[in-house]
Amino acid sequence: MKIQVASLIAAAVMAVSPLAWADDHYKTFDQAAQAALTPDQALSLLKEGNARFVAGESIDRDLIEQQKATSSGQFPFAVVLSCLDSRSAPEVVFDQGVGDLFVGRVAGNVVDTNLLGSFEFATAAAGSKLIVVMGHTACGAVKGACDGVELGNLTALLDEIEPAIDAVSTPVGADRSSANTAFVNDVIETNVRMQVNELLRRSDVVRGLVDAGQVKVVGAVHDISTGEVTFL
């Protein structure tokens, strides 16, 4: 479906709910549509987008038209922190276009001061309604951390995943290396939960927005085999 941004925006925003507006026309968000969206509706948009991706029904967007429509301003409805992994790109996995998502990416999807500052900008200043911390199956960063890999600056990055490894208990004598897929999957999910907590603990700004009901922070795991994203 091609997008006819300029002619439809004003009427559509006034006439229908933001959710239906986004569903019907697949335009990028403008300020009014973003402001009208609730955190739960933002989450629904991501779930619907992932369902389209999994079904092979991603929208045939006119990205050049979206680029033009957003050139004078951006109003993304959600923020995603994901891994560096080439198979876990949020815009693709959630079937979103130009101007729809703020995306922060780092191996192992761990939060740091720079990312927290970025997310505070995205929500408090730029109006996004949802922050998703998304890990993924077969994560090389988590596997590397499990195996105690050391390499230049990567060593310090992988240290950030250590608390998740320590938090996952296994039977005595169990393999706690990357060869144990069940263990790795537990660490991946635990790391996501811990990064969500870390984000809320370290950002007064985001926590304030969450307490006020203006923003939601959720964890998720992307299965790189099926494409499916499971929200925790």
Q: Shortest Cβ distance from residue 75 to Zn ion (Å)?
A: 29
Q: In terms of CB distance, is 9 or 187 closer to Zn ion? A: 187
H helix or E strand, kind and range, residue 50 = helix 39-54
Q: Shortest Cβ distance from residue 126 to Zn ion (Å)?
A: 26
Binding site for Zn ion (CB under 5 A): 83, 85, 139, 141
Q: Shortest Cβ distance from residue 47 to Zn ion (Å)?
A: 22
Q: In terms of CB distance, is 85 or 100 closer to Zn ion? A: 85
Q: Is 33 left (phi over 0), alpha (psi -120 to 50) or beta?
A: alpha
Residues with Cβ within 8 Å of residue 6, at least 6 apart in sequence: 69
Q: Shortest Cβ distance from residue 160 to Zn ion (Å)?
A: 13
Q: In terms of CB distance, is 42 or 80 closer to Zn ion? A: 80
Residues with Cβ within 8 Å of residue 215, at least 6 apart in sequence: 39, 123, 128, 129, 130, 131, 206, 209
Q: In terms of CB distance, is 99 or 135 closer to Zn ion? A: 135
CA distance linking residue 50 with residue 161, whole number of Å? 26
Q: Shortest Cβ distance from residue 83 to Zn ion (Å)?
A: 3
Q: Residue 91: is it exposed, middle or buried by C-beta count within 10 angstroms (0-12/13-18/19+)?
A: middle
Residue 224 near residue 136 (C-beta atoms within 8 A): yes
Side chain identity at residue 121, one-letter code? F
Tokens of 87: 């198979």
Q: Shortest Cβ distance from residue 20 to Zn ion (Å)?
A: 35
Q: In terms of CB distance, is 139 or 168 closer to Zn ion? A: 139
Radius of gyration of the chain (CA): 19
Q: Residue 109: is it exposed, middle or buried by C-beta count within 10 angstroms (0-12/13-18/19+)?
A: buried
Using DSSP's 3-state secondary structure scheme, residue 210 falls into: helix
Q: Shortest Cβ distance from residue 93 to Zn ion (Å)?
A: 13
Q: In terms of CB distance, is 139 or 165 closer to Zn ion? A: 139
Q: In terms of CB distance, is 69 or 132 closer to Zn ion? A: 132
